[in-house]
Amino acid sequence: MAKDTLHRDVVIIGSGPAGLTAAIYAARADLKPLVIEGPQPGGQLTITTDVENYPGFSKGIQGPELMEEFREQAARFGTEFLTTWINTADLSKRPFTLHTEDHEIKAETLIIAAGASAKWLGIPGEAPAPEGLGGYGVSACATCDGFFFKGKPLVVVGGGDTAMEEATFLTRYASRITLIHRRDSLRASKIMQEKAFANPKIDFMWNTDVKEILGSKETGVTGVKLSNNQTGEESEFPCEGVFIAIGHKPNTDLFKGQLEMDEVGYLKTAGHSMATNIPGVFACGDAQDSVYRQAVTAAGTGCMAAIDAERFLDSLPVLVPTGEEVTMEGERVSADHESITMPDGEVISNKPDESEAAHGD
C-alpha cells in the first residue's frame, strides 16, 4: 500500500521538552510544525514523579502533567502531531525525506529532539513504577532527584565518569554513598577518580554485581541484592536509594553516517546555534547535550533550534559548526565574514561598499 505523503516546512522529531518547545516557537511563528511524537510521547519526564526544578512551578509538578502542559501549549498555536516514530531519514538533499511505517514525510527543515536514554542494568526492581521502584528510590539522575535523599544512605552503580560525578554530587545530600562497581578498578578519568577517592563520604565496593533492587512502593528502596563476581558470594546491602550511573545513549542511530556526532552519538551543533553539519537540520535537547541533560536546558535549546529554523526559512544566514554561516539558497559566508561563496562556487566580497558604509546603519 502506498504511504501517505506529507510535506512540511518544519518537522520536529521528538515530543519531550526540547521538541515541544521548538513546536511552540515554530507554531507561534506560523510555520505549522509537525511533531513526530516517537516511542515515548512527552519524553523522559513522563516516567518520573515530582519535578521540582522546572522554573514556574513553585510547588513542583508531576512529570507527566508538565509534559501535558507543554503539549497543550504547542497544540494551541496549531502544532500538528503524529503519534508514530521515524524509521529512516535521508538527509542527502532538501527537502529531507523521513519514513514512518505509514508516512513519507518531506521536511524543508528538520529539528531533531529525539533525546537520550539512560542505560539501565535490566535487573528486577529497577523499572519505573508500577513494575519497579523507578520514582520510588531508583533514579538515573542525581541533579534531578538528589534533593529527595537528604540524610539517606545511597548506592551508586557504575565505574565511569558518570558514576564519579553522580556520587560526588550526591554527597551534598546523602549520609553515605557506596559506589558499587563490577570490576576491581574504575574506568573514570584520573581527575574524577581522585576526587571521588578523596571524598570521605564515598565508600567503594569492587567486583560486585547488583542483582536486584529491594523494597516496595510503600517503603521505597530498602536495599540491594549483590553478588561478588570473584567469589560468587551473595549478600544484601541496606540503602534508601539507588542511582544507576552507567551512562546515557542518545537516540541518534538513525542519523549515523549523515550527521556529525561524538563517539557516544551526541549530535554536534555550532556554538551559538543549533545547526548541525547539514544546512536545514537542527538538533536540540539531550540528543545533542551530553553535559547538562535537564528539562529546562532541553527546552532552551528547543527554542534556539526553532528560531534557527525560522531564520533559515527566511533565507537568513545561520551559523554552522565550521564557523561559516549558510543560507537556504546555499550561500556560505566565511567564518571571518569577509567573503561569500555562492552556490555556483563564485566568491564575492561580504564587505559593505565604502560609499554605503559611510552612511552607517
CA atoms within 13 A on the CB side of 119: 13
Select 139 or 327, whichever has its Cβ closest to ligand FAD: 139
CB of 169 to ligand FAD, least distance (A): 14
CB of 22 closer than 8 Å to CB of 12:
yes
Sole binder of ligand FAD in the list 295, 306, 318, 320 (CB under 6 A) = 295
Q: How far apart are CA 177 and CA 170, in angstroms?
A: 8
By CB under 6 A, which span of 8-16, 170-178, 219-227, 349-357 interacts with ligand FAD?
8-16
Does position 79 interact with ligand FAD (CB under 6 A)? The reply is no
Distances (CA, A) of 361 to 40, 318, 333, 334, 358: 49, 21, 20, 22, 9
Question: Please, which of residues 296-325 interact with ligand FAD by CB under 6 A?
Answer: 296, 298
Sole binder of ligand FAD in the list 107, 111, 118, 307 (CB under 6 A) = 118
Q: Name the DSSP class of 183.
A: S
- The residues that are catalytic are 141, 144-145
Sole binder of ligand FAD in the list 8, 34, 44, 70 (CB under 6 A) = 44
Q: How far apart are CA 352 and CA 350, in angstroms?
A: 6
Select 202 or 305, whichever has its Cβ closest to ligand FAD: 305
Sole binder of ligand FAD in the list 75, 129, 141, 246 (CB under 6 A) = 141
Which has the closest alpha carbon to 109: 255, 258, 314, 289?
314
Select 242 or 333, whichever has its Cβ closest to ligand FAD: 242
* Number of residues in the chain: 361
Sole binder of ligand FAD in the list 10, 74, 111, 115 (CB under 6 A) = 115
- Work out the burial of residue 276: count CB atoms within 10 Å of its CB; fewer than 13 is exposed, 13-18 middle, 19 or more buried: buried
By CB under 6 A, which span of 26-34, 114-122, 230-238, 272-280 interacts with ligand FAD?
114-122
What does residue 173 show for φ and ψ, rounded to 5 degrees? -110, -45
Interface with ligand FAD (CB under 6 A): 13-19, 36-41, 43-45, 47-48, 51, 53-54, 85-86, 113-115, 118, 139-141, 144, 251, 254, 285-287, 293-296, 298
